[in-house]
């Protein structure tokens, strides 16, 4: 499995990876000039020990590369993990790279995330951020239509500006931003991926990025099943 759909039009694709659970084991065993050829029960116990005791550097020798297609509101939350990257053991967010498609250079048809009537959520009762339960269907239907009309208006102006010779990097100002899908490559160490998962799989994380985190988890488990089991909170 290397691909999962998310939301209405989004997806996550596992493009590439470097290493396996054995990579983590051997990165740790090199301290004693030892190496395992095949993963065994002792190696699995070592992975559990490293995770439990916070010895995170061996997990930075394994890498994952994803292509992600998500609304901008998801991308900008995700981006925090790259700008906060560091190379210090224990920080949990090191060794990352991000390359994103740009509407300075491309003019492909814009695509937008439009929540269905039953997907609109109330503001939370006891918090200044996040969301609560679903709104009543009739209210959700109203705002789905309002958003569709808003997107349609912005796209029409954007396309007209391009036809009139306005450059793409300025014409994009007319596109409704936060729901617009963007595409990027995210390359990160196994430790960084697990740090992202531990924060964005939480019940109080924004629901949309939770769904992407679940896809990242499922795709990552195909490459590093034992490390994910130990590093990701349940």
What residues act catalytically?
Answer: 200
Using CA atoms, how far apart are residues 231 and 46, in angstroms rounded to an integer? Answer: 13
Alpha helices in 30-183 (DSSP H): 41-53, 72-83, 137-163, 168-171
* Angle made by CA atoms 132, 136, 137, in degrees to the nearest 5: 120
| Contacting residues for 165 by C-beta, under 8 A, at least 6 apart | none
138-155: b (≥16 Cβ within 10 Å) or e? eebeeebeebeeebeebb
Residue 96: strand, helix, or coil: strand
Residue 56: strand, helix, or coil: coil
Using CA atoms, how far apart are residues 72 and 100, in angstroms rounded to an integer? Answer: 11
């Amino acid at each position: 499995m290397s691909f999962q759909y998310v939301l209405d039009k989004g997806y996550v694709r596992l493009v590439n990876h470097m290493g396996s659970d054995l990579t983590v084991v051997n990165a740790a065993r090199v301290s004693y000039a030892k190496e395992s050829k095949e993963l065994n029960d002792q190696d699995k116990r070592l992975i559990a020990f490293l995770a439990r005791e916070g010895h995170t550097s061996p997990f930075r020798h394994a890498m994952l590369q994803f292509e992600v297609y998500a609304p901008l509101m998801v991308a900008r939350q995700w981006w925090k993990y790259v700008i906060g990257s560091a190379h210090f053991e224990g920080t949990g967010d090191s060794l990352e790279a991000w390359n994103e498609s740009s509407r300075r250079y491309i003019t492909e048809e814009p695509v937008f995330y439009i929540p269905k009537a039953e997907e609109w959520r109330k503001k939370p009762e006891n918090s200044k951020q996040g969301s609560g339960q679903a709104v009543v269907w009739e209210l959700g239907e109203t705002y789905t239509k309002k958003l569709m009309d808003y997107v349609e208006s912005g796209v029409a102006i954007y396309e007209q500006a391009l036809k009139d010779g306005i450059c793409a990097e300025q014409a994009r100002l007319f596109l409704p931003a936060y729901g617009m899908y963007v595409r990027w490559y995210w390359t990160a160490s196994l430790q960084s991926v697990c740090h992202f998962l531990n924060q964005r799989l939480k019940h109080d994380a924004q629901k949309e990025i939770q769904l992407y985190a679940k896809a990242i988890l499922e795709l990552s488990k195909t490459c590093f099943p034992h490390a994910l089991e130990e590093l990701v909170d349940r």
